[in-house]
Amino acid sequence: MSSTALATPVRTPTDVRPPRRRSPRGRRILKALPKIIVIGVLLITVVYPLFWLLMGSFKTQDEFLNSPTWALPETWTFDNYIEAWTTGNLGTYVRNSILATAPALFLTIVFGVAAGFALEVMVWKGRGVVLLAFLAGIMVPGQMILLPLFTIYFKTGLTGSLLPLIITYTAIGLPLTVFMMATYFRSVPREIFEAATLDGASIFRTFRSIGFPLVKNAIFTVALVQFFFIWNDLLIALTFTTRSDLRTIQVGLLNFTGQFGQVQYGPTFAAICINVFGTLVLYLILNQRVMKGLTAGAVK
Amino acid sequence: MNRVLGDWRAITILLGPALLVYTLVMLVPILWSLGYTVFEGNPITGFTFVGFDNLAHLFTDPRVLEALVFTLKYAFVLTVLQVVFGYLLSLMYVFWLRRASGLVRTLVFFPVVLPTVAVALLFQKLFEIVPQNGLVNSLLNTVGIPSVDWFSSPDSAFWVIIMMDVWRSMGFYAVLLYAGLVDIPEETLESARLDGASGWKLVRHIVIPLSLPVLLSSIIFSINGTLKVFDSILALTNGGPGSATTPLTLYMYQTSFTYGEYGYGSSIALLLTILCLIVTIFIFRSSRRDLTKG
């Protein structure tokens, strides 16, 4: 933001304070030193644990037990990754996660955007109450709906599939999606929609050709938030996956250490790495838009 | 025009699916869960009516008290720390690093997108003592301090959880608050500086009051999330040692699925929901009052 900062006072004709003298070169470096140290410490705290994790994923069991923990791996092989992916069943878990996340995300967004449009753009009695009912859902903890849902899924025989996850994620994602989409539609000038209807567009045409394109960026942001929520969820996945071959990546990772009997460091680190860096790469690709979406003020 | 924008058939088609799913999968189960509180048992063994025994038991169960105290302590400490750290970072981005803050902002934001379970397992390994020293204990050893068994005492386990969550979330709050700080008009800061306010004074009297709304939404956001903490604690300590780090969410889960007591589990869930409701209303109220004052 500001180019004029606390360190360099603004010089204006009315400035009554005596002008400060330029500090010599040595002092300037000394002055920058705290900045360098603070940033250094900050970055080490954030990045080094992840680096340590990555290095660990290449080490052998012997290196874990006998070398110092910050030593670099002696050989660079992907044995640990292969072990985690096949013997550790990580491949199955990742597949389950994708199969549960994709449909749930799609349904949440489609239902949520349409509902947001109906609640904000269309004019009818009672829409305030319905919006409030959706809003209340943001606050309710997942624990409150867990037991009845488990009973329903158990009685209807859905427990042996990924359907309980898809249905539950869709429902839990809806309140925030509806609320955010309603907020975004509110920021679009009403005249645009009124003009469209005056020109003879049906409401569905207005939704598809006017409303949808106008909030496309917002949809992207909301979808991203929902994606990370569903992908990283443990509570729902842990409750509704009754068979081990239905586990999502988070549930699988939680039970990972147990799979080899004794603790196998290499494969465990590799499994965590796949989860962490997979998400990180995805985030890096979408980074620019995340930041834009966040600063564009969904929360303000 | 109102005939088109108020067309009931269209409203039903657009709103219907969302409302139907929401009602069936969230609203109905909430009421159903309320019904469970007066029963004992689970779907496999069957239910027996016990009246208000479950709810009464909430007040005498020492584990509920322990979990409640832990939940509140965790929510309070973590909210304070993550908002304070986030705010300090955002102030640093805006006033100290300025244009150069882009890369730092991105890097510090990283951990928040990482899966909680993975981060918890990472911290488990970082603070490990048996069978092998983790990074933290190895560092302590090199400066001559013997290894600490972090997860064996309630206090150290609590602080490891807090450290993990601050590490995870400070970047997120920094970006959130940064968005608020950037919105402060440059002229306001400029005139305050001309009036002689600088450094801490400028922050205290100008920046904090002006960023109060976004600070409050961060606090609401944070409390709402921390009261519902589940994943990270389950994966990091599983409530241990003993039940010292068990929040209400985890206690509810154990009661329902380890012991199969759906009625009592629902009662704990109800307690948790009421807690979230009270805190949300309380914060909304106090924020309204403060805003009209400021």
* Mean per-residue pLDDT over chain B, rounded: 86
- At A13, the pLDDT band (50, 70, 90 cuts) reads very low
- At A299, the pLDDT band (50, 70, 90 cuts) reads very low
- Number of domains into which chain B is organized: 1
pLDDT of residue A289: 65
Look at residue B98 and tell me if it is in a domain: yes
Best mutation target among B117, B126, B246 (most A Cβ atoms within 10 Å) is: B117
pLDDT of residue A113: 92
Whether this model's ipTM surpasses 0.95 comes out as: no
Q: How is residue A18 annotated by DSSP?
A: P
Cβ contacts of B122 on chain A, cutoff 8 Å: 49-50, 53, 272, 276
Look at residue B15 and tell me if it is in a domain: no
Q: Which tens digit of pLDDT belongs to each residue from B62-73? A: 999 999 999 999
Look at residue B275 and tell me if it is in a domain: yes
The 3 state secondary structure assigned to chain B is: CHHHHCCHHHHHHHHHHHHHHHHHHHHHHHHHHHHHCCEEEECCCEEEECCCHHHHHHHHCHHHHHHHHHHHHHHHHHHHHHHHHHHHHHHHHHHHHHHHHHHHHHHHHHHHHCCHHHHHHHHHHHCCCCCCCCHHHHHHHHCCCCCCCCCCCHHHHHHHHHHHHHHHHHHHHHHHHHHHHHCCCHHHHHHHHHCCCCHHHHHHHHHHHHCHHHHHHHHHHHHHHHHCCCHHHHHHCCCCCCCCCCCHHHHHHHHHHHCCCHHHHHHHHHHHHHHHHHHHHHHHHHHHHHHHHC
pLDDT at residue B258 is higher than 60? yes
Strand partners, B49: B39
Residues 6 or more apart in contact with residue A56 via CB below 8 angstroms? A64, A265, A266, A269, B125
Q: Find the closest chain A residue to B184 by CA distance.
A: A1
Q: Which tens digit of pLDDT belongs to each residue from A140-152? A: 888 899 999 998 9
Give me Rg for the CA atoms of chain A. 26
User: A300 and B111: CB-CB below 8 Å?
Assistant: no
- Residues of the domain holding B136: 54-293
Mean pLDDT confidence for A32-42: 84
Look at residue B25 and tell me if it is in a domain: no
pLDDT higher at B216 or B252: B252
Task: State how far the Cα of B160 lies from the Cα of B157, in Å rounded to an integer.
Answer: 5
Q: Which tens digit of pLDDT belongs to each residue from A252-283? A: 888 876 555 556 788 888 888 998 888 888 88
Topology of the domain covering A82-295: MetI-like fold (1.10.3720)
Q: Of A124, A174, A279, which has the smallest distance from its Cβ to B115's Cβ?
A: A279
User: A172 and B26: CB-CB below 8 Å?
Assistant: yes
Task: State how far the Cα of B294 lies from the Cα of B284, in Å rounded to an integer.
Answer: 15
Three-state DSSP at A122 gives coil
CATH number of the domain that residue B254 is part of: 1.10.3720.10
Closest by alpha carbon to B149, among B74, B73, B237?
Answer: B237
CA of B146 to nearest chain A CA: how many angstroms apart?
Answer: 16
Q: Please state which of the ranges A160-164, A175-179, B183-187 shows the lowest mean pLDDT.
A: B183-187
Q: Six-digit token pair at A32? A: 């920058």
> Using CA of residue B18, residue B20, residue B21, residue B24, what is the dihedral sign?
positive
Q: Find the closest chain B residue to A170 by CA distance.
A: B21
Closest by alpha carbon to B62, among B246, B263, B274?
Answer: B246
Any idea where the domains of chain A sit in the sequence?
38-77, 82-295
